[in-house]
Structure 1
Amino acid sequence: MPAVFIHLSDIHFGQEKDGGRITINDDAKEQLLQDAASEIAKLDTNATGIIVTGDIAYSAKYEEYEKAGKWLDRLAEGIGCSRLDIQMVPGNHDIDRNAITPITKFHLDAIREHGDSMLDMLLDDDVQREVLYERFAAYRDFSSGYGCALDVGGAYSADVVVTVAPERTVRFVHLNSALICSLKDDEGKLILGARQRVFTPIDGEEMVVLVHHPLNWLQDSDEAARYFKSRARVIISGHEHFPSLTIMGVEDNCDLLMLAAGATAPDDVDEKYTYKYNILTFDWDDESDALAVTINPRTWNFEMKRFERDTPFLEGRSERNVLGSPNFRKGAPPAKPILGMRDEQPQAQPVANPVTGSKEVDFSMTEDVRLVRLRFFRDIPEDGRRRILVGLNVIPADLTDRLDNTIEQRFFGKLVAQGRLGELSAAIDAAILESKSGDDE
């Protein structure tokens, strides 16, 4: 049951400042849509989902995520997956630098100086914690729509599991390496923190870590690497805009694949940096009871102005990499497939974080709920969501306190638990129609 994902990174919606550059980047994004659809069609299957390893936006503004959402919808439609099946982690461009106040900068500098102890102290304080997360306001709304909400307790969040064979699953772990990003970040100065470094291994399951910054950008890289080598099988990152692939033999029958992505839309396009993305297939290798990762790297042909296979990137190695997978081998033996039975299309399933025990809001994850959640948090701006909550008598009209993302998630969960999903959906429809009417005037 191969699971196929389109992997993007550093899309930078909103980075273009002149009409010519907008036209050029928009054309490259259009060509990517066509190339991805064509490549997936060759596999005679639909894609399982889309992975974005950070920097969806350029300045973390609502309108940038609005454009990103529309484009991602088109990509999902072209590759045959649901627009709900998009995973993401934040990058340094997914923080609003205008929201970095003097007190925020003081906190960030203190964390850099004192490390885990200072980070933990701030995360355990409800007020100070929100100072750290305020920079992510627009990203939090956008990612919440996809079920990839940041864990405000500082742990890794929004796990997604895909079954690649009976008793064999792949868990995608989402990390926030941008948590202490500031106005300018130096390599080796960021911190993941202990709450994100520690994973709980599960028999029969291999972990794929999604993170924006490669390990060399972290102060706690050595300690993070120890956990990753022990418990993860794949690390996928972005940020540096230049792709690389390393497979490390950790110990006998245990490997770690580290894939750094090129930028989907780099700041500047030249001989070294250009438009890139990957098509990744995760599968079970039955002969060695191991995770197999197939990489189809796609790069921009400058002369022909289209995407093509990035053959030099593979450096002569096979596109299919079978990784020593000790956690698979600890699981129950996979059942033998019935001869002639067609494999079902793998589905990406949201699951609880085994460290924190549950998500911030634990409501029924039916497709209808997920779709309304996407529309509420992604497609409705903050003031519009507030008007909806007032109209549904969830909050009083004279409430002056700002509703942060965590509170809004709780209100959303409350409406779902009360059986008011239909009312909320109708209110979203009305808000979108009103917004379009205002744009037409």
Structure 2
Amino acid sequence: MRIHAGGVAKGLIVTGDIAYAGKPEEYAVAAKWLDRLASAVRCPRTAVKLVPGNHDIDRDRISAGCTYLINEILTGGETKLDEFLADADDCKALYNRFVGYEPFALETYCPLHPGGGIASDSSEELAPGRYIRFFGLNSALICSKRKDEEGKLILGAAQRVLPMDPGVELVVLCHHPLHCLQDSVDARKYVRNRARVFISGHEHKPDLQIETIEDGCDLMMLASGATVPPKVENGYTYTYNLLTFDWCSKEDKLSVEVVPRAWNDDKKRFEADDVRLGGHKPRNLLASPNFRRGAPPVVAVQAEPAVQLVPDALHPALERREDLPAGYVAAPEPAPSQSAPVAAMNDAAFQLVLLKFFRDLTAAQRLKVLIDLDALPDDWNEELTLMMERNLIEDLVKDGRLDANKSSIERNQH
């Protein structure tokens, strides 16, 4: 959550266990609660970053066959997981347990990857050339009916192999802490060396640790606590964190401010809870190697007219001007946009259409919308999954039919 002056938030982060039993009706309640929260902090109700937890599995949908798959994975490890994910029917059996969570996640553009990959992926610009990228991991993929044994869950290589991009630092969201995983050794190596912040849930006790991985590389490990724990006793209480992500231009570091809040039951209110900072100050500067690997941020220079400067190494063919600082050239004029419909996919209007499509419409109504907009070919004869529906909506937006989408949803909603 990025907090601006006046208490306006950029978004909400939820690290799993949105529901208790993974039932659709529980997500309907959760959606209304998140809408109220988004309104209170004045952020778009679509600006929610989610990952699933073990309570987001509908355990009633764990069949005997699915139980066999899970037991085989628990015994055979990552090799077995990859084998089953490569088979469409086995993969479907594993993901069928998220039948309540999946449409809820699609509403906020945090889809589960259908083949064991990253659960969600989005970026925020902190400054020109400096970004944070939120990666959501599905650590609940092989949770079972019984209480999951610590150290037995698996992320798999498709999730734990995190990218490294110049100018981009990673904020990784995962319900389970790393010690809950079979592949925790490799997962920890990737997180320690490629992420700047790792935020987990599950254990209900907030905590903050900052590790110096090596000279010029830091990692913040943040245990987020629980907004609605099952009990308020023995050290457990209602907690949340206010997070501010920013770029420290002076040191080219990621600035992360953490303000923990905890419920004081005697005073019946939330209060600052600095004890849970673990001795750290609220604002911390994290040494950020991927920022340093990126090109220097674009510098704005006021001239006649204003000139945007970029490092000349990025545009070696451009003419050098004597009136500009050494090592920089004037950024080329942007070409006429040919991708306005594609850009629209990132704006609030499209995200709101996606939310309404999955939240407000039944499966039959969603099908009517797709038929109404000729999104399906006449000879369509396949199973229509939620992910396919989302992709079809995206294709319509890419074709410049965002308004048609909105109108069709409104018509079919009644």
2:82 to 120, 123, 148: 120
Total equivalences in the alignment: 374
Who is 1:189 aligned against?
152
Greater CA deviation, 217-226 or 155-164? 155-164
Give the secondary structure class of the aligned counterpart of 1:228: helix
Using the alignment, how far apart are the partners of 2:229 and 2:390 within structure 1?
Answer: 33
2:189 to 209, 226, 250: 226
Give the secondary structure class of the aligned counterpart of 1:153: coil
Residue identity matched to 2:220? L
Residue identity matched to 1:248? E
Q: Is residue 2:91 matched to residue 1:129?
A: yes
Give the secondary structure class of the aligned counterpart of 1:93: helix
Who is 1:321 aligned against?
284
Who is 1:411 aligned against?
392
Residue identity matched to 2:130? R
Using the alignment, how far apart are the partners of 1:56 and 1:251 within structure 2?
Answer: 36
Who is 1:365 aligned against?
346
Using the alignment, how far apart are the partners of 2:7 and 2:271 within structure 1?
Answer: 20
| CA offsets 1:104-132 (integer angstroms, 9 cap, x no match) | 11111111111111111121222221111
Greater CA deviation, 152-161 or 226-235? 152-161
Who is 2:100 aligned against?
138
2:55 to 75, 79, 93: 93
* Distance of aligned partners of 1:144 and 1:182 in 2 relative to their CA distance in 1, 3 Å threshold: same
CA contact (8 A) 1:362 1:413 kept: no
Residue identity matched to 1:332? A
CA contact (8 A) 2:51 2:119 kept: no
Q: Is residue 2:31 matched to residue 1:50?
A: no
Who is 1:357 aligned against?
none
Q: Is residue 2:26 matched to residue 1:64?
A: yes
Using the alignment, how far apart are the partners of 1:363 and 1:119 within structure 2?
Answer: 37
Give the secondary structure class of the aligned counterpart of 1:105: helix
1:74 to 21, 36, 53: 36
Who is 1:349 aligned against?
none
Q: Is residue 2:275 matched to residue 1:294?
A: no
Structure 2 unmatched runs, 5+: 303-341
Using the alignment, how far apart are the partners of 2:344 and 2:274 within structure 1?
Answer: 45
| CA offsets 1:172-221 (integer angstroms, 9 cap, x no match) | 11110011111121111100001101011011111110000000110000
Who is 2:123 aligned against?
161
* Distance of aligned partners of 1:417 and 1:325 in 2 relative to their CA distance in 1, 3 Å threshold: closer
| CA offsets 1:336-372 (integer angstroms, 9 cap, x no match) | 5779xxxxxxxxxxxxxxxxxxxxx999434332211
CA contact (8 A) 1:363 1:413 kept: no
Residue 391 of structure 1 and its aligned partner are, at CA, apart by 5.6
Query: TM (normalized to structure 2)?
Result: 0.83
CA contact (8 A) 1:66 1:379 kept: no
Give the secondary structure class of the aligned counterpart of 2:100: helix
Who is 1:382 aligned against?
363
Using the alignment, how far apart are the partners of 1:328 and 1:374 within structure 2?
Answer: 33
CA contact (8 A) 2:13 2:48 kept: yes
CA contact (8 A) 2:57 2:98 kept: yes
Give the secondary structure class of the aligned counterpart of 1:162: strand
* Distance of aligned partners of 1:92 and 1:400 in 2 relative to their CA distance in 1, 3 Å threshold: farther
Greater CA deviation, 190-199 or 383-392? 383-392
2:406 to 417, 425, 429: 425
Residue 377 of structure 1 and its aligned partner are, at CA, apart by 1.2
1:173 to 126, 130, 135: 135
Query: TM (normalized to structure 1)?
Result: 0.78
Residue identity matched to 2:394? G
Give the secondary structure class of the aligned counterpart of 1:258: strand
* Distance of aligned partners of 1:337 and 1:430 in 2 relative to their CA distance in 1, 3 Å threshold: same
Using the alignment, how far apart are the partners of 2:247 and 2:369 within structure 1?
Answer: 46
1:236 to 179, 190, 199: 199
The Cα RMSD (Å) is 2.6
Structure with the bigger RCO (C-alpha within 8 Å, sep 6+) is: 1
